[in-house]
Amino acid sequence: MSPSTDQEQAPSCLLKDVGVMRFNKEHMRLASYVAEFQEVVDTLKTREAIIDDWRHIDALFGRILKVASSHFKAEEEMMSSQSYPGYESQKKQHDKFLDQMLKVQDDIRGRKIKFKDDFKALLWDWLINHINQVDVGYRDFFKNKS
Ligand SMILES: [Fe+2]
Ligand SMILES: [Fe+2]
């Protein structure tokens, strides 16, 4: 058997069902964008980025931020309208993540970022962990409400 990392698996295998079809779809979309982004930056651990790499990175990162912020907003609206008790802590995590991502985007725009291993933890691991440990918490709550 050849060694494989989590990232080489299809995102859908890694993500738990959170019970809301729309959010499951958004999670998959987001994970596949993040996987694509991570693939690009992984190649830059061993060489310097050229202008085409930066263009690609700018586009991918912008897309991730856009999709993530609209997804978070939709989740928060649903949680708040249903008085979900985990709303506050979800919102805090979402806001903190977006804050960090905006800082990363600044560094990317300033071309002053090094894509080391800890970068994967910041983006990929955070996302998978958030979906599978935190988002999954609203599955039964929403199910029982509907
Ligand atoms: Fe989510
Ligand atoms: Fe969330």
Centroid of ligand 1 to alpha carbon of 136 (angstroms) = 8
28 CA distance to ligand 2 centroid (A)? 13
Q: Provide the domain limits for residue 95.
A: 20-145
Into how many domains does the chain fold?
1
Q: Domain for residue 1, yes or no?
A: no
- Residue 12 resides in a domain: no
Closest of 57, 8, 41 to residue 117, by C-alpha: 41
- Specify the 3-state DSSP secondary structure of 28: helix
Query: What does the angle CA 122 – CA 69 – CA 107 come to, to the nearest 5 degrees?
Result: 45
Q: What is the pLDDT of residue 118?
A: 76
Nearest-ligand number for the alpha carbon of 25: 1
How many Å lie between the centroid of ligand 2 and the Cα of residue 89? 9
Note the pLDDT of residue 11. 60
Tens-place pLDDT, residues 34-76: 999 999 988 888 888 899 999 999 999 999 999 999 999 999 9
* CATH number, position 36: 1.20.120.50
Given this model, what pLDDT does residue 12 score?
A: 62
- 38 C-alpha to ligand 2 centroid (Å): 21
State the distance from the centre of ligand 2 to the C-alpha of 58, rounded, in angstroms: 24
Residue 118 tokens read as 């800890």
Q: How far does the centroid of ligand 2 lie from the alpha carbon of residue 76, in Å? A: 8
Q: How far is the CA of 57 from the centre of ligand 2 (A)?
A: 24
100 inside domain: yes
Low-confidence residues of the chain: pLDDT under 70: 1-12
Residue 134 counted as domain residue: yes
- Nearest bound ligand to CA 93? 2
What integer pLDDT is reported at residue 145 of this predicted model? 77
What pLDDT score does 10 carry?
Answer: 58
Cα(35) to ligand 1 centroid in Å equals 16
Tokens encoding 128: 């998978």
